[in-house]
Copies of this chain bind each other. A is one copy, B any other.
Amino acid sequence: MPNSFGKMFTITTWGESHGAGVGVVVDGCPPLLPITAEEIQAELDRRRPGQSDIVTPRNEADAVEILSGVFEGKTTGTPIAMLVRNADQRPGAYDEMREKFRPSHADFTYQAKYGVRDHRGGGRSSARETIGRVAAGAIAKKLLATKGVEIRAFVTRVQDVAIPETVLSEMPFPSPGQIEASAVRCPHTATAEAMIERIKEVRAAGDSVGGVIRCRVRGIPAGLGEPVFDRLEADLAKAMLSLPASKGFEIGSGFAGTLLKGSEHNDAWISQDGKPRTATNRSGGVQGGISNGEEIFFNVAFKPTATIMLPQKTVDAHGAQTELTGRGRHDACVLPRAVPIVESMAALVLVDHWMRQNAQRGTF
C-alpha cells in the first residue's frame, strides 16, 4: 500500500493534480472526537496556493468535503473520507510535458516505473497530493491537542538566510501566532523579512530556493515509539523524506552532534520533582527509539523548487536532446506552504505510536 501511511491511524491519499480531485481516507481514528469541516479547512488554508504574495498564485480554494466517518459532529471510529475537488485546471498548459522530462522532477521516473503517466501538472507526483495529508493531519493534531500535545513547525533557513544559531537554540516554544505572523512562517521577525526579500528576488529572476524547516513537539509522554525498526525517529524520518522536495532529516543534535565527544554530547539525567529529566536535550526527545518526555525536535531539508522559469537542457520521450522552460504558476520556495505539511506528518506519526502503545499497554 504505497499510498498509505500509519499502522493504527492509517491514511490513504489519492488523486492527481489535474484529475477530478484529491483526497484521503483516514482509517482507525478513535471515535467521539469532535471535528468539523471548518477545522480541517483551516489547516488546508495554511497550505493552499494563493494565500500570500510569496507563494504560487494558482487560485484554488481547496474546499474540503467530509464524506463519511463523522456523525453529528463527532468521529464514529469508522473511515473518514475527505474530498477536495480540483478547480483551477489548465490542462493545455501542460502539453509540452507530455513529451519532455522536466529536470529534477518525477516525470522520467514515473514513466520508467509505470510505463505511463498523467503528465498534466505532474499528475500524482504533484504536491497537491499533500492536501490529503494535511486534512488527515488536522484530525491527528486535534487528537493530540486533547492530550496536551503541541506541534509547531517553522522555517529556520531559506537558502543562506537563517535564524541565528544562538537565537534558534534558545528560542522559547513558539506560538501559532508567532509563526503565522509572517508569510514565510519564520517566527524570528528580522529573519522572516530577509527570507521574504530573498524569495521575491529569486522569483523575479525566474529561479527558486530551498531551506530548512524545524519541527518542535512538546507534551509527548515518555514511552512512545518502538525499539528496533519502528523507532519514533525512524518513522519521523520516513514521514519527512516522503515529502516532495525533502532531501534530509536530523533529530536532536543531528549532523552537528557528530562533531562532539560523548562526554560533551550525552544528556545527563537529573531528578526534577522526583522524575528523571535530561539536563540537556541533544537526544531530541528520543532515546533508543522511544520518547523520553523531553521536547522532540528535528530539522528537514527541502531542496530548491525544481520548476524554474529559465531554459534547461532536457531529453524528450524519444531520447532526443531538447530544451524546456518552466511555465505556469509555481512556488519559488516551497517552505512556507510545507510548514503545515511537516506538522501534519509529525502528528500522524505521533498519534499512530500513541495508539500502538495503547494496544500493548492497554487493558491487558
Nearest Cβ in chain B — how far from A2, in angstroms?
3
In the complex, the 6 A-B pairs of residues with the closest C-beta atoms, listed nearest first: A106-B288, A358-B362, A2-B226, A208-B262, A248-B250, A109-B290
Q: Is the CB of A247 within 8 A of B251?
A: yes
Within 8 A of B (CB), among A12-30: 12-16, 19-23, 25, 27-30
How many copies of this kind of chain does the complex include?
Answer: 4
Within 8 A of B (CB), among A319-351: 319-321, 351
Q: Return the contact of A16 from the options B68, B231, B312 (Cβ within 8 A).
A: B68
Chain A, residues 26-39, CB within 8 Å of chain B (1/0): the string is 01111111000000
Q: Return the contact of A105 from the options B68, B287, B303 (Cβ within 8 A).
A: B287
Q: Return the contact of A269 from the options B247, B265, B299, B313 (Cβ within 8 A).
A: B313
Number of interface residues of A (CB under 8 A): 163
Q: Return the contact of A124 from the options B78, B224, B247, B249 (Cβ within 8 A).
A: B78
Greatest chain B CB density within 10 A among A258, A319, A356 is at A258
Chain B residues near A27 (CB-CB < 8 A): 1-4, 12, 14
A174 at interface by CB-CB < 8 Å = no
Using known A-B contacts A227-B2, A247-B251, determine if residue A271 contacts B104 with beta carbons closer than 8 Å: no
Chain A, residues 276-316, CB within 8 Å of chain B (1/0): the string is 10110011101111111100000101111111101011110
